[in-house]
Each structure stands twice: as C-alpha cells, then as structure tokens.
C-alpha cells in the first residue's frame, strides 16, 4: 500500500463539464411527445443540404484516417476569405481552439482576461494551465467594457478574449471602440476575437476581426461551423491569424483532431450561401418576434445581434425554465452565467418561436 495515485493538484480545483440531458432523455423522463430545444444556439433549419451530400459521399472513406492538414477545407476557406492557406488552424469545435490556445500560450501565473459574463470555456483554459483569470464585468448595457479590459492588462497578461457577439448577451463591440482598444494593447498580449455568431450580425458598426488580422496586429479570429452553418454535432471550428501566431497550435494539437466528415461537410457548407441567407432571414424574423413578445409581456430583453435573446424574467429563472420544460420547450437558465433572473433562448422556426412564447406566457402567470 503506497500513496494513492493523484492527478495534478490544480485539476481537482476544476469543475468537470456536466453534460446536459439529451432531448430524448428529457422527453422520456417527462413523458413528452415532442421537445423544442432552444438552449444551445443551434440552427433550427439544420445543416446545408450540400453538407449532407458531402457526408454521404465520404461515408465510404471513414475507415481511413482524416487528412491531418484539412486540405480541402483549408483551400475552400482560403478562397472564400482570400487569405493564404497558412492563415487557418482547425479545431474539434472552437471549444478545442480555446483549449489549444491555452495549452500553447499560457505559462503558470500568466493572465487571461475575459468579460463577465462571457463564454465559460475561456475560464477552464485558464484554470487548466494555472493562469490567473481576470474577469471584467460587462457595462450596464451588457456590453464588453473594453476600456476596463485594457486597464486590466499587466506585464503578465498573455491572452485576452472578446466574444463578439458575446454569449450569453448577444451584444457586440463597435468598430471605433475596438480600434481604440487595440491601440492600447501591448505587443505581448494576444487578442482573440471569438466570432462564433459572426454570420448573424447585421449592425453597420460591427468590426470584422479579419481587418485586424491583416494589419499585423496580435489578433486571432475564431469562427465556427456549429451555429449558422448548422454543423454543431460534427464539431468543427477554425482560427484565422498570422502563421506565426498559429504555429504554436500546430505543435500542440493532435494529428487528427478534425474528423473527415466534419472537414468535407464544412467545405461544402461554406459554398452554400443560400442556406446562410435563409438562416439569417429566419433569425432576424425570429428575434423580432421574440423581442415583440417580451415587450407585450413586460419583460426586458437585451438587444441581440446573435441567434439568441437574453430575457429578464423578474424571478428565479430556474423555476420558469422547469415550467417551460414541462410544456416541451427547453431554454438555458442564466444561473450558469451568474444571472439567475435571466433566461437565454435561441430563435427557432416561426412555429417554435410561437410555441415558446405561449409556453412562457403560461409559465409566468401560473
């Protein structure tokens, strides 16, 4: 009998990711015949038909290892963005890119700066690498406080995340704010603009992160196929940046981190602009419907540029969420973001949006 096996000490301070129950499990438990899932910002229209065709075509190839260079997809994106192929790095979802940038860049005691609330996976990457996590509260109108984030930078700051649009608020930073902010960021800091919801934005002052990638700044942009492209189940996201900034990722990633079906589906999906335009139109109409319903019900909602809406329900939203669930509508509670009186709901099809509104009305007045 010797010492028990111990993992690295700080690993015990991390919380395991607790997977949500699947729609099938929830339906079985609650005896529901249908469940409308509006909790994970997925695309209610599904994937592009071209992506599905590509998957079927490649089913005969899944006994072979994937292309570790993602060549077909790399070339498709290179054409699409008019950037050299070496400006892209790929991950098993942008979740994996967040992980890889942490592993590659963060030394113990380095600082990672992010907004609060913002996307929670940035926190885990700081904890895993024993970095210091600095969370800067959003402004009263739920937007990134870029001035305070710049003030928080020190000689030990390494990574700084700006989710634009932000999750869970759907708010954006504007071009002039971002440019003023970037002027203040010193050379030893890498700014990651996480543009997971890029395709949904139609605000005229939205800055395209790519403009700063080309300008020699220490900026990397993350995009994903999980949201507007409807490929969340395949897991594929990508980083766009200068090759010297992406090189450390190539060193630490696994050789086959992106599977074949994800690569070919993504390469096909990027060419299907019709599907993206339909998705955007559905989302715009959906946001309008949801916002109008909030006004009617006397609920405050945060103006959103993404495919979801953060709604203040005026009481513990966990109760409201349960009441919605029993009516067959699944939304996200704000507790996980430290906002226990808010719920986050993504836009669905017109029928799904109406079902949500009816269910919400009932849940509030019960």
Ligand X SMILES: Cc1ncc(COP(=O)(O)O)c(C=O)c1O
Tell me the per-residue interface mask from 56 to 95 with ligand X, x by CB under 6 A, - otherwise: -------------------------------------xxx
Distance CA 188, CA 166 (A): 24
- The reply on whether position 194 binds ligand X by CB under 6 A is yes
- The reply on whether position 32 binds ligand X by CB under 6 A is no
Q: How far is the CB of 252 from ligand X (least distance, A)?
A: 17
In this structure, are strands 308-312 and 342-346 parallel, antiparallel, or unpaired? Answer: antiparallel
- The reply on whether position 26 binds ligand X by CB under 6 A is no
- The reply on whether position 364 binds ligand X by CB under 6 A is no
∠ CA 38-39-42 to the nearest 5 degrees? 70
- The reply on whether position 304 binds ligand X by CB under 6 A is no
Q: How far is the CB of 262 from ligand X (least distance, A)?
A: 11
94-105 helix and 243-252 helix, angle to the nearest 10 degrees = 90
Distance CA 152, CA 352 (A): 42
Shorter beta-carbon distance to ligand X: residue 101 or 119:
119
Q: How far is the CB of 88 from ligand X (least distance, A)?
A: 14
Shorter beta-carbon distance to ligand X: residue 259 or 327:
259
- The reply on whether position 230 binds ligand X by CB under 6 A is no
| Three-state secondary-structure class, residue 302 | coil
User: In the set 39, 48, 167, 333, which binds ligand X (CB under 6 A)?
Assistant: 167
Q: How far is the CB of 187 from ligand X (least distance, A)?
A: 25
Cis peptide before 117 (omega within 30 of 0): yes
Distance CA 142, CA 145 (A): 9
User: In the set 48, 135, 169, 226, which binds ligand X (CB under 6 A)?
Assistant: 226
HSE (side-chain half, CA atoms, 13 Å) at 275: 22
Distance CA 348, CA 277 (A): 15
**Which chain residues interact with ligand X by CB under 6 A?**
41, 93-95, 119, 163, 167, 194, 196, 224, 226, 232, 237
């Amino acid at each position: 009998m010797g010492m028990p096996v111990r993992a690295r000490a700080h690993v015990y301070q991390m919380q395991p990711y607790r997977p949500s129950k699947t729609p099938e499990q929830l339906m079985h438990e609650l005896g529901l015949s249908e469940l409308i899932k509006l909790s994970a910002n997925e695309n209610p229209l599904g994937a592009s038909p071209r992506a599905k065709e590509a998957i079927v075509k490649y089913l005969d190839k899944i006994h072979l290892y994937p292309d570790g260079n993602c060549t077909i997809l790399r070339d498709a994106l290179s054409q699409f963005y008019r950037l050299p192929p070496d400006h892209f790095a790929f991950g098993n979802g942008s979740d994996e890119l967040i992980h890889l940038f942490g592993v590659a860049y963060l030394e113990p005691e380095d600082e990672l700066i992010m907004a609060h609330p913002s996307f929670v996976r940035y926190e885990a990457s700081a904890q895993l690498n024993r970095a210091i996590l600095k969370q800067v509260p959003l402004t009263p109108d739920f937007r990134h406080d870029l001035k305070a984030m710049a003030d928080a930078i020190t000689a030990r700051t390494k990574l700084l995340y700006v989710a634009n649009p932000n999750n869970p608020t759907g708010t954006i930073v504007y071009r002039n704010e971002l440019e003023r902010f970037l002027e203040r960021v010193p050379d030893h800091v890498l700014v990651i603009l996480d543009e997971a919801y890029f395709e949904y934005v139609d605000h005229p002052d939205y800055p395209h992160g790519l403009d700063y990638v080309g300008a020699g700044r220490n900026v990397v942009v993350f995009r994903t196929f999980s949201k507007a492209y409807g490929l969340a189940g395949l897991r594929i996201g990508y980083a766009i940046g200068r090759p010297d900034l992406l090189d450390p990722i190539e060193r630490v990633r696994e050789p086959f981190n992106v599977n074949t079906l994800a690569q070919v589906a993504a390469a096909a999906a990027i060419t299907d602009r019709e599907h993206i335009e339909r998705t955007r139109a559905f989302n715009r109409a959906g946001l309008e419907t949801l916002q109008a319903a909030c006004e009617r019900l006397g609920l405050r909602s945060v103006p959103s540029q993404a495919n979801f809406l953060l709604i203040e329900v005026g009481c513990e939203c966990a109760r409201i969420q349960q009441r919605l669930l029993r009516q067959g509508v699944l939304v996200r509670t704000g507790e996980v973001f430290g906002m226990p009186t808010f719920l986050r709901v993504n836009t669905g099809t017109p029928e799904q949006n109406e079902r949500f509104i009816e269910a919400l009305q009932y849940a509030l007045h019960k």
